[in-house]
């Protein structure tokens, strides 16, 4: 929605896919954007992360991106380790990354939306 220029105040992504066939246009991205991703996330490779950064810079977007070193996909999901084991998936819960990403989201919301 941010890429489309929808009138939003804030957008947050946790371990989300960052590539898209839709590209942000300069001056059209309205919201402040926070992206939290795992540095070891095999489902969101580094080229998607760097591609998003370039795209948002070119569009003049207000982007904050936090990449947690060594952290895998689904880091906010306390049940991820069980799913990873059961289905042999490259995902894992990370308590510190989950906590820090949530705290960053709350700061953004407080800043954007106030009390």
Indicate whether 50 belongs to any domain: yes
DSSP 25: P
Q: How far is it, in rounded angstroms, from Cα 29 to Cα 61?
A: 6
Average pLDDT estimate for 31-47: 97
In sequence order, which residues have a C-beta less than 8 Å from that of residue 74 and are 6 or more positions away?
Answer: 15, 80, 83, 84, 91, 92, 93
Indicate whether 2 belongs to any domain: no
Q: Residue 115 pLDDT > 80, yes or no? A: no
Expressed as residue numbers, the domain containing 68 is: 10-16+25-113
Number of domains comprising the chain? 1
Q: How far is it, in rounded angstroms, from Cα 35 to Cα 11?
A: 8
Indicate whether 1 belongs to any domain: no
Q: How far is it, in rounded angstroms, from Cα 40 to Cα 60?
A: 27
Q: How far is it, in rounded angstroms, from Cα 106 to Cα 104?
A: 5
Indicate whether 54 belongs to any domain: yes
Q: pLDDT tens-digit profile of 91-104? A: 999 999 999 999 99
Mean model confidence pLDDT for the chain = 97
Indicate whether 82 belongs to any domain: yes
Indicate whether 64 belongs to any domain: yes
Indicate whether 4 belongs to any domain: no
CATH for 95: 3.40.50.1820
Residue 17 burial by Cβ neighbours in a 10 Å radius (0-12, 13-18, 19+): exposed
Q: State how far the alpha carbon of 60 is from the alpha carbons of 33, 48, 85, 113, in Å.
A: 12, 18, 41, 22
Indicate whether 3 belongs to any domain: no
Q: Residue 65 pLDDT > 70, yes or no? A: yes
Average pLDDT estimate for 11-16: 97
**What pLDDT score was predicted for residue 94?**
98
Q: pTM for this structure? A: 0.95
């Amino acid at each position: 929605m941010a890429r489309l220029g929808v009138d939003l105040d804030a957008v947050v992504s946790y371990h989300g896919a960052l590539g898209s066939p839709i590209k942000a246009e300069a001056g059209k991205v309205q919201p402040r954007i926070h992206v939290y991703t795992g540095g070891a996330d095999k489902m969101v490779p580094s080229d998607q992360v760097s591609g998003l950064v370039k795209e948002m810079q070119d569009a003049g977007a207000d982007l904050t991106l936090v990449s947690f070193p060594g952290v895998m996909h689904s880091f906010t999901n306390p049940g991820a380790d069980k799913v990873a084991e059961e289905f042999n998936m490259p995902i894992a819960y990370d308590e510190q990354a989950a906590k820090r990403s949530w705290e960053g989201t709350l700061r953004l919301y407080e800043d954007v939306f106030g009390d």
